[in-house]
Amino acid sequence: MQNFKKRSAQACKTGLVGAVLVGMLGLPNLGFAATALPLSDIAQNPNKDSILKLNYAGVLKGYTDGTFRPQNEVTRAEFAKVAVLAMGYTEEQAKLLQGTTVFKDLPANHWATGYINLAVSQGIIKGYPDGTFKPNNNVKIAEALTVYVQGLKINVNTSSVGEWYYPYLLEANKAGLYDSAETPTVGAKRDIVSKYTSRFMETPVYANGAYYDRNGNADGTNQKLPVVKGVVSSYNKTTKKLKITGQNSEITVSDKAQVYGNIVVGAQVQYILNKGNIDFLIVSTAESQIVEGVVKTGLNFSSAIGDEKQFKAIVKGKEIVLEVVNGVNVSRTNIGQKFVAVLGDDGRVESITFSKNTTTGLIEKISAVSGTNAKKELKVGSETYVLTNSATIKGKAHPQAKEATASFADMEKGDLVELTMDEDGKVTAVVYTKLTATETIKVDTDDNLIIIGSVKYEVFKDTELIVDEEEVDELDELQDGKLAVLTFDEDGLLKKVEQGTKVASNKVVADTTAYQAGPPVNLATIKVDKKTYDILATAKLTIDGKKVSATTIKENQLNDYRIISWKYNLGTNDIVELEVESQTVKGYVTKKTGDKITVNGKVYELASGVTIDNNAATNDKEYTLTLDSEGKVKAVSGALKTVSGIVEEVEIREDNGEITSAKITVDGEKYTIDDEDAVEDLEQFEYVTLTLNRDQEVTAASAQGKKEESKVSFIGIESRVNGDKYVYFDDVSTSLKMAENAKVKYYDGSDMKESDVKKTDKVDLWTKADGQVYVIVVLKR
């Protein structure tokens, strides 16, 4: 640390600013891993070593509570301090420059002015074009790397096409600071700043085309990761292999590579090789010179003189004419194909590549229109594609199955499809692949395979094996020769194998058939997601909370019911357990427009023939909507909302003889009274039913119940075998039956536990019209 503190300002300005703290940062056996970490929250951080170095060096310290908070983002002011300290300047040197800055949003008393002024004086940090510095903005990855590239005195060619930071990232990658792991436009977090700063402080200074060593000597040193320039002669997007003009071998673009721009044949690129693969690439050709589209005609598309070098194309949905230079050909065989062309300065096509006009993805939606405007459509990703009348359709039952002729109806949402389009963008051919298949499987535990017929699928470490909803670890826990449901990913790899029973929920029944005793016996069925399931006669069936026999199911009985839970046998789809409830929504209508109503903030459409009160949006009715499988309202009923319970308090306030407010508390809930006459005669402990308006104010009240016994002795409560309860009073010969939800309250209205009532207590017993006690009021203890 002392060497660092004693470093002079003169030494810092020699241009060898990268050769700082090298001895200290390179010290072996500092014991970071062997002893308890000085920072409590970095043990699992991949940049732990860099964090510890910077904390130890005082460049980027932890907090006083012993944390480093690696995920916190760094502000521009904070980074200015980190940068100048990393360059070898001291706190004392920064203090000498505290005060006024050139930035209009940075007051002279800001804590970071010394560091910012020092960084500006070294040319490593700049403000914004409007004269501001924005010290509290988070520093971006690209900004931080730019500062360090400038700190290494690297001459940067900023004339390349693209974002301003491209050339700086290129040099940072070349110098070994940037490994393309982070997105350059996101905020830099403390652990990432630590990583870059540590690398910067250990990087020999780059100047005059060479890297100097730590002693300032250039002899014998090598430039790191040289930048290669060239023109793309071929590129395969699938394999990520490209070839540069003049080179014989292909180069692979690393999966982790940072690529800026559109790689196409004819484009000029600059790239860096790391371990033989492209690690960083910038397309120098401007985007305006790259045209993508679909070929509509070949050359000579008309007989007019001058058309020999022109062809028509569809670009961004519009038809345009492109002219080619000598040697570039577009033939009739290219019609309908995709192309990528590079234009010269005169706007003519200098190079062009063709590919099948196909797109691949998962089906999001399938729709068909009949009649005079008949058409068939597939939504794949965010795009909707229309099939031509002559479109061919082939399908695969699973990824390695053979293609077979199929129909439009065979496709389902979630299928993987490859669509081939014509020059107008209409689909001429479809090949779909089912990513879920129900098949009889053979289990090969020796070679770790699942076999379907003659097709073998490898079982990987992350392939889920599930038996009766429970995940198992061993392949031999699956049953050989039995049905299984197999799920694949888009690459055709086996993701999941399921056998036994399966539990599901949150589905809607589309159709129901009735149970028929026979002979022959026909089980009741339900259709869910276009699949039909048999309800076994022995299935445990619950409808709207009530248990019923599966043999009593009627036709259409469960239509539009929502499945709360069900269990069915995989492969056979026999239902063994099923719980359903009708789809209902309850609430006040707040808006009514045509056949649409808004309830609880959500808009619902009335199904054909369903009506609702014209004043539904203003009256006081609470409506119950029953929905169908499409979410439309198939039935409506409305009634005034009522609540029932025990009166705890009636509060009526008056001022100068006028009632200013009236409230009633029932079962712990307080309600405002719209008409005080409605509660005028109510007493505490009466059982009341309140009628509410849409503002939840009481408009009417009706009470039942009376004080059946007053100030009687409490003897006890007896429970019968059938669940009935009786409260005994005065003596063992006097008793009253208790209501099912009877409550016990103290005389002040507070709740009591039944077990807390003593034989020495005096009680009042309140009963409803049926003579059953609904509340025991304890008077004396």
- CATH number, domain of 458, equals 2.40.50
pLDDT tens for each residue of 496-509:
999 988 887 778 89
Torsion of CA 466, 472, 473, 477, to 10 degrees: -90
- Which tokens go with 747? 């005389």
Residue that terminates a domain, selected from 189, 211, 233: 211
Q: Please name the helix (run of DSSP H) or strand (run of DSSP E) that holds residue 186, with its range, or none.
A: none
Handedness of CA 764, 768, 773, 775 (dihedral sign): negative
The domain boundary, picked from 649, 679, 702, lies at: 702
Confidence of residue 213 (pLDDT cuts 50, 70, 90): very low
In this structure, the answer to whether residues 492 and 507 fall within a common structural domain is no
Write down the pLDDT at residue 638: 95
Record the tokens describing residue 766, joined without a space: 């309140």
Q: Where is 55: in which H helix or E strand? A: helix 48-57
Residue 237 within any structural domain of the chain: no
Query: Are 716 and 698 found together in one domain?
Result: no
Sign of the dihedral through C-alpha 34, 37, 42, 44: positive
Query: 166 Cβ partners below 8 Å, 6+ apart?
Result: 160, 260, 282
Cβ atoms of 672 and 663 within 8 Å: the answer is: yes
pLDDT at 604 over 50: yes
Is the same domain home to 463 and 372?
Answer: no
**Residue 104 domain flag:** yes
State whether residue 646 is helix, strand or coil: strand
Domain range for 682: 583-702
Residue 264 within any structural domain of the chain: no
Confidence of residue 204 (pLDDT cuts 50, 70, 90): low
| CA 567 remoteness from chain centre | 28
- SS3 for 729? strand
Q: How confident is the model at residue 14 (pLDDT cuts 50, 70, 90)?
A: very low
Burial 269-306 (b: 16+ CB within 10 A, else e): bbbbebeebbbbbbbbbeeebbbebbbbbebebeeeee
pLDDT digits (tens, 9 = 90+) for 535-565: 999 999 999 889 999 999 999 999 889 898 8
How many angstroms separate the CA atoms of 664 and 684, rounded? 10
Lowest mean pLDDT among 4-18, 376-390, 449-463, 572-586: 4-18
Residues 424 and 441 reside in one and the same domain: no
Assigned domain for 265 exists: no
Q: Is residue 748 part of a domain?
A: yes
Q: What is the pLDDT of residue 378?
A: 95
Comparing 3-12, 103-112, 482-491, 513-522, the range with the smallest average pLDDT is: 3-12
Same domain, 91 and 204: yes
Residues 774 and 691 occupy one common structural domain: no
234 lies in some domain: no
Q: Show the tokens assigned to 778.
A: 């304890």
3-state secondary structure of 198: helix
Together in a domain, 454 and 351 = no
Pair 361, 371: CB distance under 8 Å: no
Q: Say if CB 640 and CB 674 are below 8 A apart.
A: no
283 in a structural domain? no
Say if residue 403 is in the same domain as residue 319: no
Last residue of a domain, one of 499, 526, 553: 499
Report the percent of the chain where pLDDT is more than 90.
48
pLDDT-derived band at 303 (thresholds 50, 70, 90) equals: low
Task: Measure Cα distances from 157 to 129, 152, 664, 720 in Å.
Answer: 20, 15, 79, 94
Count of domains forming the chain: 7
**Which pLDDT score is estimated for 586?**
92
pLDDT at 476 over 60: yes
Q: Cα–Cα distance between 249 and 231 in angstroms, integer?
A: 14
One domain, residues 516 and 494: no
pLDDT tens digits for range 645-697: 999 888 888 777 677 788 888 988 999 998 788 787 888 999 999 999 999 99
Same domain, 142 and 26: yes
193 & 51 share domain: yes
CA 412 to chain centre: 23
pLDDT classification of 633: cutoffs 50, 70, 90:
very high
445, 569: one domain: no
| Mean pLDDT for the stretch of residues 43-54 | 83
Q: Is residue 608 part of a domain?
A: yes
456 within 8 A of 589, measured Cβ to Cβ = no
Confidence (pLDDT) at 259: 74
Q: Which residue has the higher pLDDT, 710 or 356?
A: 710
